[in-house]
């Protein structure tokens, strides 16, 4: 022991003897117990609490009386209270879905014309990486993979795009659709562990989509480079052989709006948008400056039109502000620009979305408590008995696909179950197969859109729709059946969840980076051509791979690395830790870490605690403590 510490310990011993207080550092375990310091059993209990897994299901304390212990009035009261909460939950879910529709319309108004114009640039789309990032950005702007895929299906059917060019855009649309439930997870940002689980549950969708793209896009791109010989990759040829073997007739009267039948009466009272105009811009039928997306009243006016020096009188549709009696939506009463309406609608949609999310989470907390919560958790997260347990996940995939087909939106389905993961009702391991099923279900929209094409265009449209379907099926085959592969996206999602629980601001940075800045950067360096993309992108990719390998070696086999590379301490702290950035973001109350995530103080606590009657000296070299 250091001489100074030894002298301090002796003084503490003398003080303890003078005051009649035993010193645990010298008097043994009995003194530890008598002075209120935990013995070995208590220490073990503390360790078990510290090793609590926040990703496991939350087991609430059942405080309510059992059903058989209630009086008749008590039973009636409990049933009525349960029904009231169910009605409130359904009403909130309805408003939540409507807010997602408003959000989608707002992004269409703000960026729909730009997306349509970019989709019409066929020369850019020849680059598969450029097409991938365009699919991500387009879907984020339109807030709907269904809209993006419907546009692509129409462009392929009209021979504006070929199938090989459209495949990377479809992959990008699959990635972009996961932005919605990532935004939704922010509704639980105030509670550390709820936010951890909710963000992890949301980003497991992102991880699966990105990993599948990393596997399949290079193969398709390499095969596209040998076009005179291959004319497409495995995904192209697989879907083409399936389409060629089918004999399907066009179905003009197919109904693609199942859930919107319920929500449209309300949303159309607020805003009505001409979604077909975006498709017309992308196909070159109309110019963006000649189109107004917000539906207004139109008047037929006779106007002189000059074409090739010949003037003729033609009927022209003139858009005007609707009168109060003839307006079909609130914004039809205004003559505001699409951008202004989109900005107002975006604010309204986000406010409504946040309010609905907070109230939904609180209602779920109240509803899923006591005996009901225990029963639901057992049913939802249970596996089939015995050797059939492995089939449970596949059933979850089927359920996810079926429910997504029913609501006609993977965003709505995954956003609805994300809060359930946050409050601890649904495990992330069960959320994963449900998300995979949602990816399958969302392809149903593209298939329906292809069936509305004429018989001459049906095969091309169905071909790209099947590419969307089999992209997800192949991804599931890669990342689900084998347990080791299944754990990869789940572990990545948990890693992100843990980071966001410790640094709340990281979630916003992740959202902006992964869905806006990163796709925009890759898209920008893809525009000049392959030379710039390879020259800039390959060194960055190699650097990321090397860092990932070193990180893996540091955690598993540090002895095989040079001494300097066994940790990153030789680098400035801002290059290997988020702590410096955390100090900047701590000005935001919500972005501060939770109590259980705050780091311990850098300096040791004082030897005495004046607030405790029995002052017990603390010695850090004492093995018992």
438-452 pLDDT, tens per residue?
999 888 877 877 776
The phi, psi pair for 430, rounded to 5°, reads -90, -30
For residue 221, list its beta bridge partners.
none
| Band of pLDDT at residue 11, cut at 50, 70 and 90 | very low
Give the model confidence (pLDDT) of 220-233 as tens digits.
888 877 765 556 78
> What is the distance between the alpha carbons of residues 304 and 253, in angstroms, rounded to a whole number?
38
**DSSP conformation class of 273:** B
Lowest-pLDDT choice from 118-132, 136-150, 605-619: 605-619
Six token digits for residue 188: 């639980």
Return the pLDDT at 432: 93
Element (H, E) at 375: helix 370-381
Exposure class string for 264-283: b at 16+ Cβ within 10 A, else e: eeebbebbbbbbebbbbbbb
Q: What is the mean predicted confidence (pLDDT) over 346-353? A: 84
What pLDDT, on a 0 to 100 scale, did the predictor assign at position 118?
62
Question: What does the pLDDT read at residue 17?
Answer: 40
Q: Which residues pair with 300 in a beta bridge?
A: 317
**Structure letter (DSSP) for residue 564:** G
pLDDT at site 416: 82
Model pLDDT, residue 484: 92
Q: pLDDT band at 215, cuts 50/70/90?
A: very high
Lowest mean pLDDT among 8-17, 133-142, 312-321: 8-17
Residue 603 confidence (pLDDT) above 70 = no
Give the lowest-confidence range in 8-17, 297-306, 378-387.
8-17
Place of tokens 């006779």: 302
Query: Residue 192: which residues within 8 A CB-CB, separation 6 or more?
Result: 501, 593, 594, 595, 596, 597
Q: Dihedral angle at the C-alpha atoms of 443, 448, 453, 455, nearest 10 degrees? A: 100
Distances (CA, A) of 310 to 33, 303, 315: 105, 13, 16
User: For residue 487, what pLDDT band results from cuts at 50, 70 and 90?
Assistant: very high
Task: Give whichever of 198-212, 441-455, 611-625 has the largest mean pLDDT.
Answer: 198-212
CA distance 483 to 515: 29
Residue 318, strand partner residues? 299
Decide if 209 contacts 139 (C-beta within 8 A): no
Q: What is the pLDDT of residues 423-432, one digit of tens each?
A: 888 889 999 9
Establish how many alpha carbons lie within 13 A of residue 111's alpha carbon, considering only the half-sphere containing its beta carbon. Answer: 18
Confidence of residue 435 (pLDDT cuts 50, 70, 90): very high
Question: Per-residue pLDDT averaged across 577-586, rounded?
Answer: 83
Between 23 and 145, the higher pLDDT residue:
145
Q: What is the pLDDT of residues 231-270, one digit of tens each?
A: 678 888 888 888 888 776 655 555 555 556 777 788 888 8
Q: What is the mean pLDDT of residues 577-585?
A: 84
pTM, two decimals, is: 0.69
């Amino acid at each position: 022991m250091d001489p100074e510490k030894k002298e301090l310990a002796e003084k503490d011993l003398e003080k303890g003897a003078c005051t009649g207080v035993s010193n645990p550092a010298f008097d043994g375990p009995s003194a530890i117990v008598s002075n209120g310091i935990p013995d070995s059993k208590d220490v073990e209990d503390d360790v078990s609490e510290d090793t609590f897994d926040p990703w496991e299901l939350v087991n609430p304390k059942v405080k309510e009386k059992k059903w058989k212990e209630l009086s008749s009035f008590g039973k009636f009261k409990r049933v009525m209270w349960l029904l009231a909460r169910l009605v409130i939950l359904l009403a909130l879910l309805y408003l939540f879905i409507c807010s997602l529709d408003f959000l989608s319309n707002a992004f269409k108004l703000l960026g729909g014309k730009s997306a349509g114009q970019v989709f019409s640039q066929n020369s850019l789309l020849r680059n598969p990486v450029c097409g991938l990032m365009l699919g991500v950005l387009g879907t984020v702007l339109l807030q709907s993979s269904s809209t993006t895929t419907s546009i692509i299906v129409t462009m392929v059917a009209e021979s504006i795009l070929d199938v090989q060019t459209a495949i990377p855009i479809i992959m990008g649309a699959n990635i972009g659709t996961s932005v919605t439930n990532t935004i939704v997870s922010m509704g639980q940002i105030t509670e550390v562990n709820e936010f951890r689980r909710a963000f992890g549950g949301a980003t497991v969708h992102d991880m699966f989509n990105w990993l599948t793209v990393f596997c399949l896009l290079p193969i398709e791109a390499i095969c596209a480079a040998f076009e005179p010989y291959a004319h497409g990759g495995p995904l192209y040829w697989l879907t083409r052989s399936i389409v060629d073997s089918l004999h399907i007739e066009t179905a003009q009267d197919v109904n693609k709006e199942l859930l919107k039948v319920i929500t449209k009466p309300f949303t159309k009272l607020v805003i009505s948008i001409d979604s077909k105009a975006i498709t017309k811009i992308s196909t070159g039928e109309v110019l963006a400056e000649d189109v107004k997306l917000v539906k207004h009243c139109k008047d037929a006016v006779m106007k002189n039109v000059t074409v090739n020096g010949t003037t003729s009188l033609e009927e022209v549709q003139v858009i005007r502000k609707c009168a109060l009696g003839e307006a079909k939506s609130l914004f039809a009463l205004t003559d505001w620009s699409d951008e202004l309406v989109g900005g107002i609608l975006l604010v309204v949609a986000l406010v409504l979305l946040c309010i609905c999310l907070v109230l939904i989470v609180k209602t779920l907390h109240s509803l899923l408590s006591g005996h009901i919560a225990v029963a639901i958790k057992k049913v939802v997260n249970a596996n089939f008995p015995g050797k059939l347990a492995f089939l449970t996940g596949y059933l979850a995939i089927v359920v996810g696909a079926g429910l997504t087909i029913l609501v006609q939106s993977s965003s709505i389905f995954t956003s609805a179950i994300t809060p359930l993961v946050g409050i601890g009702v649904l495990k992330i391991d069960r959320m994963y197969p449900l998300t995979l099923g949602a990816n399958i279900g969302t392809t149903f929209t593209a298939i329906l859109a292809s069936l509305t094409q004429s018989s001459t265009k049906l095969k091309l449209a169905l071909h790209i729709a099947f590419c969307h379907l089999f992209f997800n099926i192949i991804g599931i085959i890669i990342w689900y059946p084998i347990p080791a592969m299944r754990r990869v996206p789940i572990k990545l999602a948990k890693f992100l969840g843990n980071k966001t629980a410790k640094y709340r601001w990281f979630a916003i940075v992740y959202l902006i980076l992964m869905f806006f800045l990163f796709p925009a950067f890759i898209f920008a360096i893809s525009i000049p051509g392959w030379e710039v993309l390879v020259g800039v992108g390959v060194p960055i990719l190699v650097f990321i791979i090397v860092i990932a390998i070193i990180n893996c070696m540091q955690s598993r086999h540090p002895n095989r690395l040079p001494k300097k590379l066994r940790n990153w301490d030789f680098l400035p702290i801002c290059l290997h830790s988020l702590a410096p950035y955390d100090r900047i973001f701590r000005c935001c109350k919500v972005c501060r870490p939770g109590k259980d995530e705050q780091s311990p103080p850098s300096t040791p606590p004082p030897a005495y605690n004046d607030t405790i009657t029995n002052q017990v000296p603390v010695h850090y070299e004492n093995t018992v403590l």
